[in-house]
Amino acid sequence: MPSLLRAPALVKGDTIAFVAPASGLAAFVPHRLTKACTELERHGFRVEVYPSVTLRAQDSTQSHGDTDDAADRAVCAAHSSAGAETRAYELMQAFRDPAVKAIVCTIGGFTSHEILEYLDFDVIAAHPKIFCGFSDIATLHLALYAKSQICSFYGPAAIVQFGEFPEPLPYTMASFLNAVQSTDPLGQVTPSTEWTDDKTANWFTRADITYQDIMKPNKGYTWLRSGSAQGPIIGGCLPTLLLVRGTEYMPDLQDAILLIETPEGAQFDEGISLSDVNVALGWLRRMARSRRFAV
């Protein structure tokens, strides 16, 4: 396993860049983008929003057919925040800018892979930054590890977690700050006391501003087998791992601890099936040179 490059810890007064390497959804829910900026500024940071984050690609709706639903139109138009070269350029600008100390993606999506060929991984390695996001952003986490040997942070996105009302979940914010404001090992990760999968509130009608998510008690970790493992944590969104496997952007999983996130399934409020998860894990196991990795 390569020796990873680590960015300096974040301190109050540092600048956090918001970028949109995939979906442009943030432009269609500006109240959540503003909320995310406000929350991080409240914790003492500066926030710089890069241009594509607020760019509405309205003309892209024409290729998706007519619809009377504002949410459908927004999702179609937000498939990508901008062209691949533009998205890559802005991400590279964030890495090059000495004032930017952390880069937080606004949301995931489906098109992070489109920018890979336009990234200069040598430049990124020369300017290691805190890089944070999840879901489709896993493509970039994997590439940063494989090509630049950067230690990145699989964590909150701007409009998803930091843009929550009336405020981000305290556990989420505390965990993020604990990770990025220190270079020491995190140590034992205590599970949250509650969680939610409530997707009732419609962001496009701004119903999320007043809606209170229904929280559920968290019973703690469920261990499927006994034992222990040690190694670098590599992983991300499971379908993304399968798409990146076999390319130059996929790290070797040998002797790694595999981190898995599962996305929504065919229904927005349901995850992918366990049978699909099992198949995907089987392919990943066969990809590892010696089939030695822990899940």
Q: What would the two tokens of residue 84 be?
A: 């691949």
> How confident is the model at residue 74, as a pLDDT?
55
**All structural domains of the chain with their residue ranges:** 15-222, 223-295
196 neighbors 213 (Cβ within 8 angstroms): yes
> Span 172-189, mean pLDDT?
94
Paired residues of 102 in beta bridges: 16, 130
Higher pLDDT, 280 or 59: 280
75 confidence band (pLDDT: 50, 70, 90):
low
Q: Max Cα separation, the chain?
A: 55
Beta strands in the chain, from DSSP E residues, in sequence order: 15-19, 46-49, 100-105, 130-133, 153-154, 194-195, 216-217, 233-237, 256-261, 293-294
What is the CATH number that goes with domain 15-222?
A: 3.40.50.10740
Write down the residue that tokens 């205590």 correspond to: 190
215 confidence band (pLDDT: 50, 70, 90):
very high
- Alpha-helix residue ranges (DSSP H) falling in the chain: 30-42, 70-77, 84-96, 121-126, 138-143, 170-180, 238-244, 274-287
Paired residues of 104 in beta bridges: 18, 132
144 pLDDT above the threshold of 50: yes
Name the DSSP class of 231: S
Amino acid making up residue 45: F
54 neighbors 48 (Cβ within 8 angstroms): no
> How confident is the model at residue 253, as a pLDDT?
85
Cα–Cα–Cα angle for 257, 251, 122, nearest 5°? 130
Higher pLDDT, 64 or 100: 100
Q: What would the two tokens of residue 177 be?
A: 């700050």
User: What is the distance of C-alpha 27 from the center of its chain?
Assistant: 17
Paired residues of 217 in beta bridges: 194
Q: Over the stretch 2-44, which tens digit does the pLDDT of each residue have?
A: 689 999 999 999 999 999 999 999 999 999 999 999 999 999 9
> How confident is the model at residue 286, as a pLDDT?
76
201 neighbors 30 (Cβ within 8 angstroms): no
232 neighbors 185 (Cβ within 8 angstroms): no
> How confident is the model at residue 290, as a pLDDT?
47
For residue 4, give Cα distances in angstroms to 133, 146, 150, 151, 253. 18, 10, 5, 6, 15
Higher pLDDT, 91 or 55: 91
Q: Over the stretch 247-282, which tens digit does the pLDDT of each residue have?
A: 999 998 888 899 999 988 777 777 888 888 888 888
> How confident is the model at residue 58, as a pLDDT?
52
